[in-house]
A and B are shown apart, each in its own frame.
Chain A
Amino acid sequence: MAARALLRVPQRARRGEVIEIRALISHIMETGFRHSERGASIARDIITSFRCTYNGTEIFRARFYPAIAANPFITFTTIATESGTLRFEWSGDNEFTASESAAIMVE
């Protein structure tokens, strides 16, 4: 099944208000340091990059390493500047990509 994501984005905010955004996505984040029972190395398979754009402008970016726990979770803030769309993009090993959007109304 495709990656599932959960977002916590306020539906409305006052202009200039600092809002908190949370994003959680399903992903095994295989570190590449584990071995199978037979001693074979299990290949790394992680999300390496996450970015958030606000009406097209990047407002937050993160680089993830194997030390980020499975089902990566991130909380960050941004200033509510205008109504529109927050877009979330994840990418990583094995050509992994995922994206989600959330609308925000700014008064």
Chain B
Amino acid sequence: MNALPLLFVVVASVALADDRRSGYEFMSRSTQAMQDDDMSNPAMLWVLDGEALWKAGKPSCASCHADMKGVAARYPAVSSGRLVNLEQRINLCRTEQQLVKPYAYESKELLSLTAYIALQSRGMPIAVKDDPAVQKGKALYEQRQGQLNMSCAQCHDQQAGRHLGGSVIPQGHPTGYPIYRLEWQTLGSLERRLRNCLIGIRAEPYGYGAPEMVELELYLMSRARGMKMDAPGVRP
């Protein structure tokens, strides 16, 4: 048997690099510099608050949990039979364990806690578990919608690296969330960013915490599986 074709296949698959790139790599050098230094990254202001919240209340988060290493890298995940993102998981702890009111989506408190938790996954590979919901998220990602009749895939799979107006289109990997988005001049969640995208294509944005949102988040995280988290990031 001629071994040459086999050798060629082996060499080809070894040479196949992972060409997935974090949104960080699509940013200008000066925006990257904002993220690089923890004392200059505005997102770290929320981490300070998150650290304080982690230790506050009776019972506090700290009284049950040692640390949150790798946690953000595993969400969305199934908890008590339900697919939840990190924000929802925090609120489940609040209502069921701490017996307090849940934090509102995009509230300063919830953002601070998710920033503090996400920081503890920085540098770690995204490790969401496989789940049937990934396929639901994939379908949402690939479906055309809105007045512009566009799908996420069209920009972020097919046109990534090219420009939309003055902005470079990233690949859409959520490695940096929650992010300090320069456009918002504040910290925000992946869901907020997805709502921006949906409004951008003139589609009805899914509500915060909607099943479609969490399925989409799960698909994006599973598509980015293995990529290193760089949260909390800065993005344009």
Contacts and interface: CB of A to CB of B under 8 A. Distances in A.
Given A4-B49, A71-B45, A24 B40 contact: yes
A71 B112 CA distance: 15
Contacts of A7: 39
A73 B42 contact: yes
Interface string B54-93: 0000000000000000000000000000000000000000
Given A22-B37, A24-B45, A71-B185, 16 more contacts: A1-B52, A1-B108, A6-B39, A6-B45, A6-B48, A7-B39, A8-B37, A8-B39, A8-B40, A22-B40, A24-B39, A25-B45, A26-B45, A28-B185, A29-B185, A71-B45
Contacts of B44: 6, 24
Nearest to A73: B40
Interface of B: 37-40, 42, 44-45, 48-49, 52, 108, 185-186
Contacts of B38: 6
Interface in A15-29: 22, 24-26, 28-29
A70 interface: yes
A69 interface: yes
A1 B37 CA distance: 24
Interface centre among B45, B52, B108 (most CB of A within 10 A): B45
A24 B49 contact: no
Nearest to A29: B185
Contacts of B42: 24, 26, 70-71, 73
Interface of A: 1, 4-8, 22, 24-26, 28-29, 69-71, 73
A31 to B, nearest CB: 11
Contacts of B37: 8, 22
Nearest to A75: B40
12 contacts: A4-B49, A6-B38, A6-B44, A6-B45, A8-B37, A8-B39, A22-B40, A24-B40, A29-B185, A69-B185, A71-B45, A73-B42
Contacts of B108: 1
A22 to B, nearest CB: 6
Contacts of A5: 45
Nearest to A6: B39
A38 to B, nearest CB: 20
Q: Lowest 9 A-B CB distances belong to which pairs?
A: A70-B185, A8-B39, A71-B42, A26-B45, A4-B45, A4-B48, A6-B39, A1-B49, A22-B39
B180 to A, nearest CB: 8
A13 B52 CA distance: 31
